[in-house]
A and B are shown apart, each in its own frame.
Chain A
Amino acid sequence: MDGLAALALSIALVGVGFWALIVRRNLIWKLLGLNVAAGGSILFLVALAYRPGARPAIVGLGPGPAADPLPQALVLTAIVIDFATLALALVYVIFLTEHRHTQDVHRLEREEEWPQP
């Protein structure tokens, strides 16, 4: 894929992700939107490493210009962090579902339904 196309796609992914995060009422959908947006930011970093005509940044692929290895190293960390965030958030969504019997954000926010401390 061309560098510019990847950049455009990454921005589109973030837009779609944030859109889902705002307009969906279900928590699972919101988390999926968050994950799509995070995927967009990861793709953005990968796309930055693109150099025209370069080979992948892997040792032993022969001579010639290579793609920028640093953004790809950063992306590995970012992917792990996104995975951890999604997993942890889902655990607490399950908890809320068990205790409040809903995943609807509007219902979760209604004050009178909360058990008093």
Chain B
Amino acid sequence: MAAALSGVLAYVGCGLLGFIGAPRLFSWLALLAGSAAFLLWAPGFPEALVGGLPWGIAVAGDMWALGLWALGIVLHAAVLLHARGRAGAFHPLTTVLIGACLAAGLSRDLFNLYVLMDLTSLLALVLIAFERRPRAVWAGLQYLVLTEVGLILYLFGLGLVYGKLGTLSVSSLAFRGVDLRDPALAVGAGLLLAGTAVKTGVFLLGLWLPQAHGQAPTEVSVLLSGIVVKVGVVALARLAEAFPVGNLLVALGIITGFGGLAYAFWERDLKVFLGFHTMSQLGYMIIAVGLGAGMGALLYVVAHGLFKGLLFLAAGEAVEGTGRREIAALAGQLSVPVALSLAVGTWAIVGLPPLAGFAAKGVLAQAAPAWTKTVLFALGVGTAASFAKLLPLFRPVGKGRVGGLGVLTGAVVGFGLAGILAFPELTSWRAWGEAFLAVAMGYALYLGLRAVAPPLARFTFDRMLVSILLGTVGIAALVALGWLS
């Protein structure tokens, strides 16, 4: 435990020192110290209370902590390598942000999770607005206000649960086996769930996500989609451990997966398109968490962090290099490393072997019951369909800088190969055939739906607020009425 806590401390400390001077040096130092701490505690450590009895903060080095730490270290290395030219507070801010995410991986206390989620929102806003583009500032401001609304709801839920049970530690809540037939507790659990859903980016509650991720500067999008939304997923996993809300999470995951896909399919802006895809991929993770598929969920979180980080890095390079954001305008404009990285990322996200997406989807599908397998397959078809429009972008022209793209490409390939070696059932003909079938069906769907343009509702700020409040009432009512349980 001491190693993990000193790793977090090194991250936050080096980040703060970087504000004074030598920002890149201190960020490398933080990365080094963080990796060393990770290696020291790596197999994990049992739950302990920081600050002693009876009200210490529970921390544990469980599998979620392992996943978030591995992801944070790889993404930080990629961002540090890539953002060489960023001046001023950029590197210190990213360092503190990653430190907060690492701490959230360790935390098993509901209030501590609230503080860390809020800290990541604040830091993320400063980073989204870093380039001072008015559009990015507006997207970031919406992000901050909406997550703050979610976290106010979370505080109410926290109060209700604490008032009834007198504890906020996930383990002691899980140990007691909370009975959600008590209306106050059920509403409390529903509010906790809804608040975290807003922060995570669940469809209809977290509609800020695509714009905030799409308008942010290149490296910031990588971190936001790579690790910051994963903090929310880990918080949802903790809530699923403390309260019996698994089925509700599966339902939310299905809505999120297909809702994100519907918007992504017709989106023309490359980075906003990837933002909608982060949302739809969150659906997979939330379904996995709801099913209690621990290993599948964890692998998906890490794999998605890697390949979506790669996609956002390549897309950001493409947008910065050409000055255009629409997918159609970028065809035949990209340099070799950028086009190749986009192709590798797309290959991974649609779940083709032997890359990271295939390994994660395969392990997840094994843990899923039969009817969810069909849902996951349909989500895969939809993903392939909406990514089909990126095909013209893969034709490269001229040379370009590799930077952090190499790190993430290597990580995506390595993760996929390691996954296939570790899970021999992934080498079956059936698994490979299903993966290629999903992509083929997706391409056919793309050709069929290309000409259609349905009127999708545009979500303004006020509508997003109303949908958060209605979604919260809906979730709390579902938990209180005991449906889906």
- Footprint of B on A, CB under 8 Å? 14, 18, 21-22, 27, 30-31, 34, 37-38, 40-42, 44-45, 48, 70-71, 73-74, 77-78, 81, 84-85, 88-89, 92-93, 95-96, 99-100, 105-106, 108-109, 114-115, 117
Contacts and interface: CB of A to CB of B under 8 A. Distances in A.
B159 A88 contact: no
B155 A89 contact: no
A74 B167 CA distance: 13
B149 interface: yes
Contacts of A78: 155
B134 A85 contact: no
B466 interface: yes
B121, B148, B466: which has the most chain A beta carbons within 10 Å? B148
Interface in B107-131: 111, 115, 118-119, 121-122, 125-126, 129
Interface string B452-463: 000000001110
A98 B136 CA distance: 15
A21 B135 CA distance: 21
Contacts of B55: 70, 73
B149 A34 contact: yes
Contacts of A81: 115, 118-119
Contact of A22 (B125, B137, B466): B466
Contacts of A42: 155
A45 B129 contact: no
A41 to B, nearest CB: 4
Contacts of A99: 134, 137
Contacts of B323: 117
Given A14-B156, A85-B144, A95 B137 contact: yes
A30 B460 CA distance: 14
28 contacts: A21-B149, A21-B465, A22-B466, A22-B469, A27-B141, A30-B145, A31-B145, A37-B152, A38-B152, A45-B155, A45-B159, A48-B162, A71-B159, A71-B162, A77-B115, A81-B115, A85-B118, A85-B122, A89-B141, A95-B129, A95-B134, A96-B137, A96-B141, A99-B137, A105-B460, A105-B461, A105-B462, A108-B138
**Chain A to chain B: the 9 pairs with minimum beta-carbon distance, closest first:** A41-B155, A99-B134, A41-B152, A48-B163, A92-B141, A81-B118, A45-B159, A44-B159, A22-B465
Nearest to B136: A117
Contacts of B162: 48, 70-71
A71 to B, nearest CB: 7
B325 interface: yes
B450 interface: no
A105 to B, nearest CB: 5
B145 A89 contact: yes
Given A22-B465, A74-B111, 14 more contacts: A27-B141, A34-B149, A40-B152, A41-B156, A44-B156, A81-B119, A85-B144, A92-B125, A96-B138, A96-B141, A99-B134, A114-B134, A117-B133, A117-B323
A78 B110 CA distance: 13
Contacts of B129: 92, 95
Chain A interface mostly: helix
Contacts of A71: 159, 162
A110 to B, nearest CB: 10
A114 to B, nearest CB: 6
A12 B152 CA distance: 14
Contact of A115 (B126, B134, B144, B460): B134
A89 B144 contact: yes
Contacts of B138: 96, 108
Contacts of A34: 145, 148-149
A78 B159 CA distance: 12
A106 B149 CA distance: 20
B226 interface: no
A88 B135 contact: no
A75 B442 CA distance: 50
Contacts of A73: 55
Contacts of B158: 45, 74
Given A34-B145, A34-B149, A96-B134, A88 B156 contact: no
Nearest to B463: A22
Contacts of A22: 462, 465-466, 469
Given A88-B122, A105-B462, A109-B461, A37 B144 contact: no
B347 to A, nearest CB: 28
A76 to B, nearest CB: 11
Nearest to A40: B152
A1 to B, nearest CB: 17
B67 interface: no
B132 A95 contact: yes
B115 to A, nearest CB: 6
B152 to A, nearest CB: 5
Contacts of A41: 152, 155-156, 159
Contacts of A96: 134, 137-138, 141
B114 to A, nearest CB: 8
A29 to B, nearest CB: 12
A22 B462 CA distance: 6
Contact of B126 (A88, A114, A117): A88
A38 to B, nearest CB: 6
Contacts of A31: 145
Contacts of A48: 159, 162-163
B260 interface: no
B396 to A, nearest CB: 23
